[in-house]
Amino acid sequence: MAVVLRYVNKKGQVIERFVGVQYVSNTTSSKLKEAIEQLISSTNLSMSRLRGQGYDGASNMRALVAVAKGNENIATFFTTASSVVNIIGASCKRRDALREQQQKDIMKALEIDDLETGQGLNQETTLKRPCDTRWNSHYDTLLSINTMFHPVVKVLEWIVDDVNQDNLGEANRLLKEIQTFDFVFHLYLMRFILGITNDLSKALQKKDQDIVNAMILVQRCKQKLQSMRDDDFDDLLGKVSIFCGNNDIDVPNMDDLFVPQGRSRRKAQKITNRHYYHVDLFLTIIDKQLVELNNCFTEVNTELLLCMACLSPFYNFTAFDKQQILRFAQFYPQEFNDRDLMKLEDQLGLYIVDMQSSTEFSSLKGITNLAEKLVNTGRSRIYNYVYLLLTLALVLPVATTSVERAFSAMNIVKTSLRELLAFENCTSVEKFLDPPLAGSSSCHVGSLHY
């Protein structure tokens, strides 16, 4: 487990520092807590000073995919999709063949007037590789396979027909698997689901994001998933059937008995194809997504974020709400006792008048800028309780991309360490890393041990 601390320095600036890597025997909450306590104590920091909750956009996106993968058929689908991307991307020759086939398909469609033309349309694309630690990667992968399905089939056929190609057997297996109704149904189902959560996923990775809009997006995602669950199965089935017809893929009769693949038919439950695809897949996967979103964004932590949003200086502090800010302070009883809450209430009245009447505060774009400006103008001492709330809010929001860069830096250091030690017998690699790793000034190489 990699640990990154986020804090506010004396200048009101948000700082993120990579602390270290801690081994964990498993990922239960109790074991993670123990590991964090051990690491914090080893750095002479106090656990009692830790505050905040984290909402990492990448983790949310990964969680939604992981929940779907809890279904064995969806898990198999993602494995197949990843294998398709890997085998075609394994060589420049195959990527060139994919690009050439795509161009042929576009030209053919244009000749028969079956493709819309215009600026920005029909751009050349590539297969996107899915990655569990990159935002939106799974969605991009499904989009690329969907739009390039015919070129992908042609390249796989080319690999199978050329006896000199590597991975011939793998290509033949993938060719058979992707040209099935099951694969196409899974492709459309997960594309639609991840498409609904895509905007939310992107919003959750923005620095100094608008929390109110993020919470609105959470609600919109839940509403859209529920609407899709209630009304959109037949529409999805129709799109899948049309796609299969255009690509010569057999569509099963929905009223026939479902035949499970790779399982004993005698023990299989007697259900129709419609029941399987509607209930066992469509409804089950969407329900899991709704449960996951409800678990990630409970009523309590949603209220916390919405209260925090009232500190925003956007549009000359129009989001300011005294009662919501006081409610936000109540989430931190160690900082705000009853007497402190009364002082904060009195302080907020003067604070908002000062902020809205001062031109130097009128164009601020986030609470980070607000905290820095309060320090620069000396008002952090005048409005000490408000400033304390701001520092608590600043360690609360979504993990920013600097956390992601810290993980990337670890991989670079690890790789560099192995490569350098292969050439020289040295005890430190710091002198080789000049200039410092981009975006990783907080990573101290000497503190990483492998």
- Dihedral angle at the C-alpha atoms of 277, 281, 282, 287, nearest 10 degrees? 160
Contacts of 149 (CB under 8 A, 6+ apart): 178, 243, 247
The tens-digit pLDDT sequence of the chain (450 residues) is 888 888 899 999 988 888 888 888 887 878 888 888 888 888 888 888 888 655 444 455 556 777 777 888 999 999 999 999 999 988 888 888 888 888 888 787 766 655 555 444 444 456 766 654 454 678 888 999 999 999 999 999 999 988 777 788 899 999 999 999 999 999 999 999 988 888 777 766 665 455 666 777 888 888 999 999 999 999 999 999 999 999 999 999 999 999 887 665 566 678 999 999 999 999 999 999 888 888 777 777 778 878 888 898 988 998 899 999 999 999 999 999 999 999 999 999 999 999 999 999 988 888 889 999 999 999 999 999 999 999 998 887 543 434 444 444 445 444 544 444 444 443 333 333 333 333 333 332 222 222
Cβ–Cβ contacts within 10 Å for residue 259, how many?
11
Q: CA of 213: how far to CAs of 85, 183, 203, 210, 302, in Å? A: 35, 35, 9, 5, 12
SS3 6: strand
What residues pair up with 20 in beta bridges, in sequence order?
A: 3
Check whether the bond before 313 is cis (ω within 30° of 0): no
